[in-house]
Amino acid sequence: MGTSDDDVAAPFWAAVRDRGVLAMQRCLACAHIRYPVSAVCPRCLHDGYEWQDLSGRGTVLSSVTFHRAYRPEWAGLVPYDVLFVELDEGPRMFSAPAPDHRAGFAVGQRVRVVPAELLPGEVVPCFERAESEVAG
């Protein structure tokens, strides 16, 4: 979790913060949607890409509860959950449940991304349950 001052990642964080959407790089050579963001495509090594808004929907592959703060500023969040989600477009990512949905995620649970300010001034993509959706 956390925002980045990295120029390559700036559009990712701006999309979450300013528009409430998940945007990732799509390679102009092979169309691979990549995450984490990078200067070159990990599949074909091409350096051309465009930013693509994703649906923000996915399926929980795993979840874990941390009882230790791995960053000092997270101490007030302990214990906190981390989800491993496979997005419908393919990439997999770790993130937190939305503050209003902190517990009760199960493997196979359908989720959707929501922006949340977990720490002051730090808006990150979190996940909430997508109750009406069924894992495919």
pLDDT digits (tens, 9 = 90+) for 13-33: 999 999 999 999 999 999 999
pTM score: 0.87
- What is the overall mean pLDDT for the chain? 90
* CB burial string 58-80: b at 16+ within 10 A, e below: bbbeebeeeeeeeeeebeebeeb
- The total of structural domains in the chain comes to 1
Residue 4 domain-assigned? Answer: no
Domain that holds residue 65: 10-129
Residue 1 domain-assigned? Answer: no
Write the Ramachandran bin of 7: left for phi over 0, alpha for psi from -120 to 50, otherwise beta. Answer: alpha
Q: What is the pLDDT of residue 119?
A: 85
